[in-house]
Amino acid sequence: MTMTRLARTERHALCDLALELGEDAPTLSGDWTVKELVVHLLIREGSPAAIGITVPPLARVTDLASRQLAKTDHAVLVERLRKGPPLYSPFRIAAMDKTLNTLEFFVHHEDIRRAQPGWEPRELDTRVQDVLWKMIRVGGRGLVRGAAVGVTLERGDTREQAVLKDSSTPVVVRGLPSELVMFVYGRQEQSRVELDGSPSDIARLTGADLGI
């Protein structure tokens, strides 16, 4: 499976689940509902107002655009998201979609899934796990900047390791790549991983503000 294909399949799976659960269902993305998460994704890849997502002083611009867009029917918004970025969006470029949307849509799909009672991890194909590992072993470095301890990821299936934050005594986070992705994106409590390290370092890592 290619990264571009995974970005697309996760987009469609997220949309299917968003319709199934309804607009008011909770997510792991802060206090956002499913509809608010869908609005965020639409703004992110299809509106100039997305600048407020990465430039905090302009967050009001994004908030206003989000409130306006949220007046649209939930099902309409979901189908708009399913169709992919608009023609003028840089996310329409295959390389951009692959690089910026693969983990984005995987994590947010899981944000919806794992906020529901009784969730269990998906059984993902090894090819999917390989794609996630390839991306998180590099992209994860920026996601653990807020950690006060060293962080090493270890694949639970192959034992391959990736150092995200160097230290002589790192916390080793062990699990399938899908679970490692969720952990370093700040969903520590909802990820199925094992942690090896001193109790104090593990406490600092599980309580750290990880992710974007």
Task: Spell out the domains of the chain, with CATH numbers in brackets.
Answer: 3-113 (no CATH), 126-206 (3.30.1050.20)
- Per-residue pLDDT at 71: 98
Q: Is the pLDDT of residue 209 over 80?
A: yes
Residue 92 pLDDT class (50, 70, 90 cuts): very high
Q: Is the pLDDT of residue 32 over 80?
A: yes
Q: In this prediction, what percent of the chain has a pLDDT beyond 70?
A: 98
Residue 212 pLDDT class (50, 70, 90 cuts): confident
Q: What is the mean pLDDT of residues 50-57?
A: 91
- Per-residue pLDDT at 122: 96
- Per-residue pLDDT at 134: 97
> pLDDT averaged over the chain?
95
The pTM score is: 0.94
Give 166-192 pLDDT, tens digit per residue. Answer: 998 999 999 999 999 999 999 999 999
SS (H, E, C) the chain: CCHHHHHHHHHHHHHHHHHHHCCCCECCCCCCEHHHHHHHHHHHHHCHHHHHHHCHHHHHHHHHHHHHHCCCCHHHHHHHHHCCCCCCCHHHCHHHHHHHHHHHHHHHHHHHHCCCCCCCCCCCCHHHHHHHHHHHHHHHHHHCCCCCCCEEEEECCCCCEEEEECCCCCEEEEECHHHHHHHHCCCHHHCCCEEECCHHHHHHHHCCCCCC
- Per-residue pLDDT at 2: 59
Give 126-171 pLDDT, tens digit per residue. Answer: 999 999 999 999 999 999 999 999 999 999 999 999 999 999 899 9
Comparing 1-15, 67-81, 194-208, the range with the smallest average pLDDT is 1-15
Residue 3 pLDDT class (50, 70, 90 cuts): low
